[in-house]
């Protein structure tokens, strides 16, 4: 006992020493105590409190105070000390006055640049500090528009400038910045974009087949890894702040004690939520089987390597296009399907900056079309009459509505399934209304994860599920590149997994397909998604071409956002949207020539990051 206590104490000391060195943790602030509470016993809390006190004592103020204290102790004249205090106060007052003056100056000075000024600006390299100031000022004005706006200027003048400035400053293409600005208010848009500039914290998932999180944390702490539990919602995750050893090459990693995984990626398996009794009892009674399918041959090697490293033994790796799986495994042959679909990656820009400028409407449509096909195949694999149910979880690391709510809504219309809660008590509700689109009301049961809100990768989860009482077959469709397979398996086998989540999101209620729903408006986003006449179900789509003069809604930066960041459907109609829509359609069908645009001069990536 004494030896264990001493070891724990040493761990704490190590931990504290490391914490002092590291920068402030991105997700969990003030967590040293939490961590110790969670990982170790309470004996060392005094030291931790001490550390916290010490760590907060290096400000300018305390330096000044120490100086005063030293002077006083050295017997210097008390008047001197008093003068020093007065000087300090005067200095602080002057700084505050200067800042106030600067603010007033900025408030009165900001004006929208003229067309000529903008044209001139576009000819030279961008002045990034001025752009940054202008973005901030613009957003400040937009958030108090009536009071602060320039006389005669419209909201659109400001939002157009904002979109252009954001594109130039952060390197986004016009399409993506336009899409994002339709989803978020200006302040939140900037928060999101800023969040994409920074990496998310590294997380690991404990392989509970081989170890316990507490033991793993202990070993890693001793190796010089600075870590914390990943929050109350996960019992197996650890967040890594800093490490003196490569996390992907420790002996514990090699031995399959953990898996590197982003926090968002924990969610689909949580949403699938096999319940403890079902898993353990039923699995022991009739061992579970996981089909891990991956279409790309070159990814099979790492998939198999992971499976074997993690000690997973109940898995069959197969190599098919997910859309063909019903032919391979049979229609209505499975109890659950997890579809972590291939997507545009617009939720993980911090991992892949190229997404900022490489994604176009055509590419998003292409992804969405494939996702539609995959989700139908996933549902078709599930047996609605299965004793255990038949749940499908759909997830993407995209934040585009077209790849998420629109795909889920599409499946609701094409199959006899229903949405139920994901069982995740965080994240934003999925959109029910977006621009002119109206999705099924139950879409509010899906979950959106944003980096600026939760410091997790942008993600979307919807659970397509049937009630399960014991697991016999689980198909991880396509997605299992390197994680789901054993994660799902671990969750099936182990009693330490997350639970207490409502078990269903989209429930397959019948193996027959529905007649078209009449409770939704005929025009939905799916019509925008289908690039050709055949829909994802292989049937002729009833896609209706939008008349060019059909009224469109305003850009959402011009609309009043709802409190939760969603936009109220607006009845205000503008020409602008019709124009941009026509341009998109022009690309597809060449109806009319797109408007000529001046080519913008973008700074090089190096230029931008250097300046920033």
Three-state secondary-structure class, residue 208: coil
Instruction: Using CB under 6 A, pick the residue from 480, 492, 506, 536 that binds ligand SAM.
Output: 480
Distance in Å, CB of 591 to ligand SAM, minimum: 31
Residue 606 counted as an annotated binding residue: no
Among 565, 453, 556, which residue's Cα sits nearest to residue 181?
556
- Counting residues that bind ligand SAM (by CB under 6 A) gives 17
Q: How far apart are CA 390 and CA 393, in angstroms?
A: 10
DSSP 44: G
Length, in residues, of the chain: 612
Binding residue for ligand SAM, selected from 171, 186, 201, 479, defined by CB under 6 A: 479
* Residue 469: Cβ within 10 Å count: 14
Answer yes or no: are the C-beta atoms of 281 and 388 closer than 8 Å: no
Q: How many helices (H) and strands (E) does the chain have?
A: 26, 18
Shortest CB 329 distance to ligand SAM, Å? 13
The four Cα atoms 471, 475, 479, 483 give a dihedral, to 10 degrees, of 40
Residue 15 lies near ligand SAM (rule: CB under 6 A): no
Residue nearest to ligand SAM (CB): 478
Are 177 and 166 a contacting pair, CB within 8 Å? yes
Which is nearest to 542 in space by CA: 353, 413, 385, 431? Answer: 413
Would you count residue 234 as binding ligand SAM (CB under 6 A)? no
Question: Considering only CA atoms, which of 193, 250, 254 is closest in space to residue 222?
Answer: 250
Residues within window 339-398 making contact with ligand SAM, judged by CB under 6 A: 340, 342
Q: Which of 242, 276, 321, 586 binds ligand SAM (CB under 6 A)?
A: 321
Using rule CB under 6 A, residue 483 touches ligand SAM:
yes
Alpha-carbon span 442 to 465, nearest angstrom: 14
Among residues 282, 383, 478, 528, the one that binds ligand SAM under rule CB under 6 A: 478
- What span, in angstroms and rounded, lies between the C-alpha atoms of 159 and 430? 25
Tell me which stretch binds ligand SAM (CB under 6 A): 130-138, 200-208, 317-325, 505-513.
Answer: 317-325
Q: How far is the CB of 294 from ligand SAM (least distance, A)?
A: 6
Instruction: Please select the residue that binds ligand SAM; options are 296, 572, 595, 612, rule is CB under 6 A.
Output: 296
- What is the C-alpha separation between 395 and 269, in angstroms, rounded? 10
Stretch that binds ligand SAM, among 186-194, 272-280, 291-299, 449-457 (CB under 6 A): 291-299
- Contact residue for ligand SAM among 228, 294, 383, 409 (CB under 6 A): 294
Which value, in Å, is the radius of gyration of the alpha carbons in the chain? 28
Q: Which is nearer to ligand SAM, 278 or 294 (CB)?
A: 294
Q: Give the per-residue contact string, 271-290, with ligand SAM (x = CB under 6 A; - = no).
A: --------------------
482 binds ligand SAM (CB under 6 A): yes
Neighbouring residues of 583: CB distance < 8 A, sequence distance ≥ 6:
594, 595
Given 128, 295, 317, 328, the residue binding ligand SAM (CB under 6 A): 295
Instruction: Name the pairing type of β-strands 315-318 and 289-293.
Output: parallel
Active site residue 466: no
CB 250 within 8 A of CB 222: no
CB 463 within 8 A of CB 391: yes
Task: Provide, rounded to whole angstroms, the least separation between the CB of residue 320 and ligand SAM.
Answer: 7
Q: Give the C-alpha separation, 139 to 127, whole Å.
A: 18
Residue 323 Cβ vs ligand SAM, minimum distance, rounded to whole Å: 6
Query: Does the protein bind ligand SAM through residue 318 (CB under 6 A)?
Result: no
Does residue 265 interact with ligand SAM by CB under 6 A?
yes
Site for ligand SAM contains 323 (CB under 6 A): yes
Q: Is 299 a binder of ligand SAM (CB under 6 A)?
A: yes
Question: Among residues 397, 422, 466, 494, which one is catalytic?
Answer: 397
Asked if 436 is part of the footprint of ligand SAM (rule: CB under 6 A), the reply reads: no
409 annotated among ligand-binding-site residues: no
Q: How far apart are CA 334 and CA 421, in angstroms?
A: 21
- Cα(344)–Cα(354) distance, rounded to whole angstroms? 11
| Residue 289 near residue 472, CB atoms below 8 Å | yes
321 known member of a binding site? yes
d(C-alpha 266, C-alpha 273), whole Å: 11
Q: Which positions from 528 through 567 interact with ligand SAM, judged by CB under 6 A?
A: none
For residue 561, what is the DSSP state?
Answer: B
Segment near ligand SAM (CB under 6 A), from 206-214, 410-418, 478-486, 587-595? Answer: 478-486
Quick one: which segment of 21-29, 229-237, 474-482, 567-575 binds ligand SAM (CB under 6 A)?
474-482
Nearer to ligand SAM, 138 or 373 (CB): 373
Q: Please, what is the end-to-end C-alpha distance for the chain in angstroms?
A: 53
d(CA 335, CA 474): 6
Q: Establish if 309 lies at the interface with ligand SAM (CB under 6 A).
A: no
Residue 481 touches ligand SAM, criterion: CB under 6 A: yes
Cβ-contact 432, 443 below 8 angstroms: yes
How near is the Cβ of 207 to ligand SAM at its closest, in Å?
Answer: 15
Footprint on this chain of ligand SAM (rule: CB under 6 A)? 265, 294-296, 299, 321-323, 340, 342, 478-484
The binding site for S-adenosyl-L-methionine comprises 294, 321, 340
Q: List, as residue ranges, the binding site.
A: 294, 321, 340
Catalytic residues: 397
């Amino acid at each position: 006992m004494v030896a264990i206590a001493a070891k724990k104490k040493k761990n704490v000391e190590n931990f504290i020493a490391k914490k002092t060195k590291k920068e402030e943790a991105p997700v969990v602030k003030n967590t040293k105590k939490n961590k110790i509470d969670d990982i170790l016993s309470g004996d060392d809390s005094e030291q931790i409190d001490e550390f916290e006190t010490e760590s907060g004592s290096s400000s300018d103020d305390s330096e000044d105070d120490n100086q005063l204290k030293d002077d006083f102790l050295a017997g210097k004249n008390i008047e001197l000390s008093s003068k020093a205090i007065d000087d300090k106060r005067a200095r602080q007052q002057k700084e505050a006055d200067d800042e106030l003056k600067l603010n007033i100056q900025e408030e009165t000075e900001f004006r929208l640049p003229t067309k000529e000024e903008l044209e001139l600006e576009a000819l030279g390299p961008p002045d990034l500090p001025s752009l940054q100031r202008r973005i901030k000022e613009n957003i400040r004005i937009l958030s108090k528009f009536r009071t602060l706006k320039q006389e005669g200027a419209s909201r659109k003048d400001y939002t157009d400038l904002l979109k252009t400035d954001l594109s130039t400053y952060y390197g986004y293409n016009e399409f993506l910045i336009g899409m994002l600005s339709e989803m978020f208010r200006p302040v939140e848009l900037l928060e999101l974009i800023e969040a994409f500039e920074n990496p998310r914290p590294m997380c690991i998932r404990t392989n509970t087949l081989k170890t316990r999180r507490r033991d793993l944390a202990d070993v890693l702490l001793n190796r010089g890894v600075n870590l914390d539990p990943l929050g109350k919602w996960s019992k197996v995750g650890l967040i890594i702040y800093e490490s003196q050893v490569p996390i992907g090459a420790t002996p514990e990693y090699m031995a399959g004690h953990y898996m590197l995984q982003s926090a968002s990626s924990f969610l689909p398996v949580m949403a699938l939520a096999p319940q403890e009794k079902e898993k353990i009892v039923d699995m022991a009674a009739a061992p579970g089987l996981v089909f891990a399918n991956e279409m790309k041959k070159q990814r099979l090697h790492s998939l198999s390597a992971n499976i074997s490293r993690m000690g997973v033994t109940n898995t069959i790796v197969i190599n098919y296009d997910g859309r063909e799986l019903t032919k391979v495994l049979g229609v209505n042959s499975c109890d659950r399907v997890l579809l972590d679909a291939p997507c545009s990656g617009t939720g993980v820009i911090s991992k892949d900056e190229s997404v900022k400028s490489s994604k176009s409407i055509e590419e998003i449509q292409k992804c969405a079309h494939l996702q539609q096909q995959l989700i139908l195949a996933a549902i078709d694999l599930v047996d609605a009459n299965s004793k255990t149910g038949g749940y499908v979880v759909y997830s993407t690391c995209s934040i585009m509505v077209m790849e998420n709510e629109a795909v889920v809504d599409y499946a609701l219309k094409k199959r006899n399934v229903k949405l139920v809660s994901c069982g995740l008590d965080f994240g934003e509700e999925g959109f029910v209304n977006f621009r002119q689109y109206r999705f099924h009301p139950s879409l509010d049961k899906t979950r959106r994860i944003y980096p600026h809100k939760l410091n997790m990768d942008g993600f979307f989860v919807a659970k397509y599920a049937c009630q399960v009482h014991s697991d016999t077959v689980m198909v991880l469709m396509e997605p299992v590149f390197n994680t789901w397979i054993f994660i799902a398996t671990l969750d099936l086998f182990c009693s330490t997994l997350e639970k207490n989540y409502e078990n269903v999101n989209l429930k397959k209620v019948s193996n027959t397909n529905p007649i078209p729903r009449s409770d939704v408006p005929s025009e939905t986003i799916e019509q925008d998604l289908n690039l050709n006449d055949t829909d994802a179900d292989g049937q002729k789509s009833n896609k209706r071409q939008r008349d060019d003069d059909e009224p469109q809604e305003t850009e959402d930066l011009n609309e009043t956002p709802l409190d939760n960041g969603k936009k109220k459907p607006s009845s205000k109609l503008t020409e602008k949207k019709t124009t941009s829509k026509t341009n998109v359609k022009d690309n597809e069908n060449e109806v009319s020539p797109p408007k000529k645009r001046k080519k913008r001069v973008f700074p090089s990536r190096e230029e931008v990051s250097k300046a920033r």
